[in-house]
Structure 1
Amino acid sequence: MGADQHTLKRQRLGRELRQVRLDQGLTLRQVAARMKMDGNKLGRMELAKAYVEPHDLHRLCDIYDVTPDQRHAWELLLVGKRPQHWWRSYADIMSAAYTEFVALENDAVEAIEYAPMVMSGLLQTSEYATMLLSTGARALGLEQAEALGAVRLARQQRLSTEPSLKFHCVVNEVALGFDLGEPEVLREQLEHLARVAKQDNVTIQVLPLSAGRMALQPVPFTVLKFGDEADPDVASSEDLGGTILYESEREVRRCNRLFDQISRAALTPDDSMMLLHARLEEGNGS
């Protein structure tokens, strides 16, 4: 199925923005600095993988000092209904950073993640997600917790619909026994984890407590990959303030290197499933 007219317009706008920048001998970093924007995001705009907001276009027109006719021509390429992705219906409960992360995840071809305390959002059951979101330091009301839980379930469609996301997650052994106060919820979560691990596009490893200092790494993080050298990896993490995106080459490289170290210290996928099933058997005996 061919691209729709809106997509074609975005692609044309991106190509023209890139060509004007190159004609003026400017780098992504130079323009992004003047835009107060990350260079990777500007690069995705040129590749039509990030939406060009009207105020961003006007700023670019000023930076490139384009003619009024050129400015008007570019503005026409923005005319039309913006694509309504599924996450737009949750805009009232999602932070700007989380919204951008979900949009990037939707475009990614591969994701790697380390989950030190609780299950990855891409692996959570509905009940587990709701209980997790409604407890702890960032506890939400039940209605909002259920809504954000629904966002996580919607994100999981990337694992089962084509083109499917290639997903490699290392889960700390701590997460296998994280007590939410409802043993049955945890059991169903572990059973779900075992099922998802059977998918060809999913690799799950467990980092055992016996891994020593490596098992003490406390910060969750994800790296999204887009399969294109012109579209660099993006890393993200979470703290009490919410989602944090890292697009600098240094930060992304650090996350990739740390994931390599963690995955090497983790059990193999087969041994990880043996441990998981042992945990389930322990639950049966309790």
Structure 2
Amino acid sequence: MQARTTLTVRQQRLGSELRKLRERAGLTSTEAASLLGGPQSRISNIEAGRYAVSADRVRTMTRNYACTDDAYAEALASMTGTRPRGWWDEYQELLPPAMVDIAELESQAVSLRVAVVIHMPGLLQTTAHARAVMAESVPPMRQHEVEHRVSYRIKRQAVLYEDTPTPYTAVVHEAALRMGIGGPEVARDQLAHLLEVSERDNITLLVVPFGEASFPASGQPISYASGLVPQLDTVVLDSDHACVFLDAEAQLARYRAVLDRMEARALSPSRSRDLIRRVSRNN
């Protein structure tokens, strides 16, 4: 069996979940391999995501590991096999791998939650706003690099407008509304876009106003993608230097709590729209 040379987040996640199940069952990789009828190296490579594994084999492994959660086992089985090519694959040679993985993660999510303080949520940005953000990167990107990233960001937004759109909740601090990125015209168009998309049934936009002293987050954007089962949820932390994917149970619980508290501090959807209108009038 030929090992993969590049791994997607999905492939790595399947391997890590199988490793968690094995360790909870108190089995070594050698013992697990014996139950599966193969060498220890096969288990190690499957858990590392380097080897493909069939759905039936994953089901066998979950039974060997005494997993009694059928929904979880079937969700793992659904992650196997050859992944159909997605539109994001065309960006594999153009963007950092972790950035490309975000689109695949969003496409598979049951629901999405995000929270931002300074910038607009990526899935709610206009093309002009996204271009203005990319143009301020340090070190500066060449124009074609800016355009690659802008087109990628806009294509990611399709998950919100499909026939069965993904439920999406975004918490935005008032600071982001007043940044004026790209100048007055771009800023007004961005705010108008927020008002328009916030009327969609699948999008909930909540604004945390200035004066809300108790605020449980830093300026780092947080994205929470819900999987087919809670065990397959993923947190993405975005920074200037990298995207970090988190999936440990304690990490997921922590960021669910952070997002819950941020949403509780925010205005209602209707009051959030009122604040956006007031900011827009003052631009």
How far has the Cα of 1:253 moved from its partner? 1.0
**Distance of 1:43 and 1:146 partners within structure 2:** 41
User: 1:223 aligns to what?
Assistant: 224
Specify the SS of the correspondent of 1:211: coil
- From 68, 78, 82, give the equivalent of 1:48: 78
**Distance of 1:44 and 1:145 partners within structure 2:** 40
**Distance of 2:126 and 2:73 partners within structure 1:** 35
- Structure 2 CA distance for partners of 1:83 and 1:214, relative to 1, 3 Å: same
How far has the Cα of 1:131 moved from its partner? 1.0
**Distance of 2:199 and 2:227 partners within structure 1:** 24
User: 1:115 aligns to what?
Assistant: 116
**Distance of 2:217 and 2:65 partners within structure 1:** 47
Residues 1:17 and 2:57 aligned together: yes
- Structure 2 CA distance for partners of 1:252 and 1:275, relative to 1, 3 Å: same
**Distance of 2:97 and 2:55 partners within structure 1:** 26
Specify the SS of the correspondent of 2:168: strand
Specify the SS of the correspondent of 1:267: coil
The structure where helix makes up a greater share of residues is: 1
Q: Residues 22-41 of structure 1: matches in 2 within 5 Å? A: 22-25=62-65
How far has the Cα of 1:281 moved from its partner? 1.4
- Structure 2 CA distance for partners of 1:267 and 1:215, relative to 1, 3 Å: farther
Give deviations 1:123-165, integer Å, cap 9, x for gaps.
0001110110110435422211111111111111111112211
Structure 1, unaligned stretches of length 5 or more?
Answer: 1-12, 28-41, 53-77
- 8 Å CA contact 1:223, 1:233 repeated in 2: yes
- Structure 2 CA distance for partners of 1:43 and 1:153, relative to 1, 3 Å: farther
- Structure 2 CA distance for partners of 1:279 and 1:173, relative to 1, 3 Å: same
Q: For this pair of structures, how many residues does the alignment match?
A: 228
CA RMSD of aligned residues (A): 2.4
- Structure 2 CA distance for partners of 1:23 and 1:232, relative to 1, 3 Å: closer
TM-score (norm 2): 0.74
User: 1:124 aligns to what?
Assistant: 125
Q: Residues 82-97 of structure 1: matches in 2 within 5 Å? A: 83-97=84-98
User: 2:198 aligns to what?
Assistant: 197
TM-score (norm 1): 0.73
User: 2:21 aligns to what?
Assistant: none
**Distance of 2:74 and 2:97 partners within structure 1:** 17
Specify the code of the residue in structure 2 equivalent to 1:180: I
Specify the SS of the correspondent of 2:163: coil
How far has the Cα of 1:179 moved from its partner? 3.1
Residues 1:137 and 2:138 aligned together: yes
User: 1:273 aligns to what?
Assistant: 273
- 8 Å CA contact 2:132, 2:182 repeated in 1: no
User: 1:182 aligns to what?
Assistant: 183
How far has the Cα of 1:228 moved from its partner? 2.6
User: 2:31 aligns to what?
Assistant: none
User: 1:150 aligns to what?
Assistant: 151
